[in-house]
Amino acid sequence: MTAGTADGDRREPDGTEQGREPDGTERGWRAAAREALYGPEGFYRRTEGPGPAGHFRTSVHASPLFARAVARLLCRVDEALGRPPVLHFVDMAAGRGELVTGVLAALPEETAARTRAYAVELADRPAGLDPRVEWRAEPPRRITGLLFANEWLDNVPLEVAETDSAGTPRRVLVRADGTERLGEPVGGEEAAWLARWWPLGGEPGLRAEIGLDRDRAWASAVAAVERGLAVAVDYGHLARARPPFGTLTGFRDGRETLPVPDGSCDITAHVAVDACAATAGGPPGARLLTQREALRALGVTGARPPLALASSDPAGYVRALAGAGEAAELTAEGGLGDFWWLVQVVGPAEGVADVFGDRPGRSTGAPGGSGSGQG
Ligand SMILES: C[S@@+](CC[C@H](N)C(=O)[O-])C[C@H]1O[C@@H](n2cnc3c(N)ncnc32)[C@H](O)[C@@H]1O
């Protein structure tokens, strides 16, 4: 629960705050987070300091094995598409371009020569980025290849709903210091989204993030692909196991913190991945895998090197051991391995469906899940 929501003393029986009306400093979380993250002084727009990587760590920062696995995926897509003369790789929400840089470095020379690489990012192009990478604020259209979005969807600003004392879902309003109060009842398409994807029971204090904008953002990114694959990787949940109090949280200086929309911290929410999948087309084109499954299918395992290597090639053994440790982190239970890979096959590209080694729509073995992407 975020700052201010537990302060029952200032609430009217319906959950609204005593004696105060909304004013210019109180907004829904969507507007507040949009400005705090992407406004002129926003968390992601600042160019000084270590950048977002100083506040949190994604799979991209955890190990170069991740970019190598994405390069392998791009090669499989390339193969399935019949090695087109121009192959697109789009690093969606590219941060400082770390993934696209790693992917280009890992591609075989012949594939790299045909690859047009894009970094799609709201922040400015970092100095020194590989000149082969085109930096832009929107994805290109008519992509033939792979659009890959690592930890983008959790950062799409969303409204938050909370049930009042009568069990009615209301929009949560927030100030720049993070204090909250309940606003008007949620209505229209937002209420319809909640009913379909995240129904809140009648108890007071239940919370949900309304994923409408995120679903649309993902559908729009998928629509930019003409032939190939769109993949979103993120922490998330399915309809049968939504977190009862929502997941909105902050990250600052490497630690989880209260989400305060003043530009000082990241503001993130776990992704209702099944809703995104359905909005972008649903099965059979959409499927869900855990990161553990996806990376194993792409050859990343946490297997330790054989002990015999320690005597025949001590340096190689140490390198292999470090690699095994990084692979273990990327695929860990209770950690990065539990992230969802939402995979959308686009266009007349039969073989693309097989790039993870089997057909879409099979049971993924994901926690309680099928591979269909439907909650
Ligand atoms: C958590 S960071 C992930 C960065 C990188 N993909 C990684 O895995 O390290 C999220 C990034 O998404 C970017 N972002 C958010 N919304 C975006 C949008 N609509 N278009 C482009 N980039 C966006 C932010 O600026 C931020 O750099």
Backbone angles phi, psi at 281, to 5 degrees: 130, -25
The band of 22, judged by pLDDT with boundaries at 50, 70 and 90, is very low
180-185 and 133-136 beta bridge pairing:
unpaired
Compute the chain's Rg from CA coordinates.
Answer: 22
Residue 333, number of CB atoms within 10 A of its CB = 9
Terminal-residue alpha carbon distance, the chain: 25
Inter-residue contact 229 to 352 (CB < 8 Å) = yes
pLDDT tier, 4 (very low <50, low <70, confident <90, very high otherwise): very low
Which atom from ligand 1 is nearest to the alpha carbon of 120? 21
For residue 156, give the ligand 1 atom closest to its CA: 16
| Contact (CB, 8 A) for 86 and 48 | no
Identify the residue whose C-alpha is closest to ligand 1 atom 14.
93
- Atom 21 in ligand 1: residue holding the nearest Cα: 121
Residue 47 CA to ligand 1 center (angstroms) comes to: 14
Measured in angstroms, how far is the CA atom of residue 93 from the centroid of ligand 1? 3
Residue 302 has pLDDT above 90, yes or no: no
Alpha helices in 268-373 (DSSP H): 273-279, 291-297, 308-312, 314-330
Query: In whole angstroms, how far apart are CA 196 and each of 84, 203, 211, 218, 239?
Result: 40, 18, 11, 18, 9
Helix (H) or strand (E) holding 162: strand 159-163
Average the pLDDT over 121-140 and give the result. Answer: 96
Pair 220, 237: CB distance under 8 Å: no
Query: CB under 6 Å to ligand 1: residues?
Result: 44, 52, 58, 60, 93-95, 98-99, 120-123, 150-152, 155
pLDDT at 108: 98
Residue among 44, 57, 152, 271 to mutate when testing ligand 1 (max atoms within 8 A of CB): 152
CA 372 to CA 375: how far, in whole Å?
9
CA distance 266 to 206: 23
What is the position in ligand 1's atom list of the atom closest to the CA of 59? Answer: 8
Locate the ligand 1 atom nearest the alpha carbon of residue 61 and give its number. Answer: 9
- What's the pTM? 0.89
Pairing assessment for the beta strands 225-234 and 143-150 based on DSSP bridges? parallel
**30 CA to centre of ligand 1 in angstroms:** 16
- Bridge partners, residue 90, by sequence: 118, 147
pLDDT of 138 higher than 70? yes
